[in-house]
Amino acid sequence: MLATREGEGEDGRQQLRQWESQQVELKKQMVDHNTEDWQSNEDFAGLERVGGVDLSFIKEDEVNACASLVVLSYPDLEVIYEECRMVCLNAPYIPGFLAFREAPFLEEAVRRLQHKDPSLLPQIKDLHERGNAFTLTGTSGKVLGMALKSCEKSTKPIYVSVGHRISLDTASRLTHSCCKYRVPEPIRQADIRSREYIRRNANTS
């Protein structure tokens, strides 16, 4: 375990420098336009599966958590696969670098599904009428993401960032189509199931 929750100390600073370097390299590899045939279809014909992941922590415990992966049918948004597993996080929490702390466990869940049944792999993962959407731009004028009202009853927007191998416009439309409630259904189901798994199985004593 590294020095503190915010990653203070020499170990934390070294970890931060490493993550900053990795972030730069990953940004260079990002493809911010559509690459799949189904993405150009108005109703996303050809898209059959979407996935969501979540990490839920045991109360008052910043190390032990439940990693959850769910796959839903599309457009019905019915859960067709789920996996929940307790994990132990050994990297520090540093604002702006949460993925480096949590993503390895979620990637492992996807790899296990790939080994178990590749036919169930989601065609798109982690999704977070467009008349309720507006773009978010940085000080340079570059578009960074989009805020949208995900459902009629929602009073708070959700934010869709630029993704990999999908355009922001497509990601925004698809996210909206995956919302029964404020939170996109793949993420909502992953969150519900990870919390329920902790309630049923985790030893919190």
Among residues 32, 120, 27, 130, which one has the least CA distance to residue 73? 120
pLDDT digits 0-9 by tens, 31-69: 999 999 999 999 999 999 999 999 999 999 999 999 999
- Beta strand pairing call for 124-125 and 79-88: unpaired
Q: Where are the domains of the chain?
A: 34-201
Largest CA distance in the chain: 51
Peptide bond into 157 cis (omega under 30): no
pLDDT beyond 70 at 95 = yes
pLDDT beyond 50 at 131 = no
pLDDT digits 0-9 by tens, 168-188: 999 999 999 999 999 999 999
For residue 154, count other CB atoms closer than 10 A to its CB: 15
So what's the pLDDT on residue 128? Answer: 42
In this structure, which topology does domain 34-201 adopt according to CATH?
archaeoglobus fulgidus dsm 4304 fold (3.30.2170)
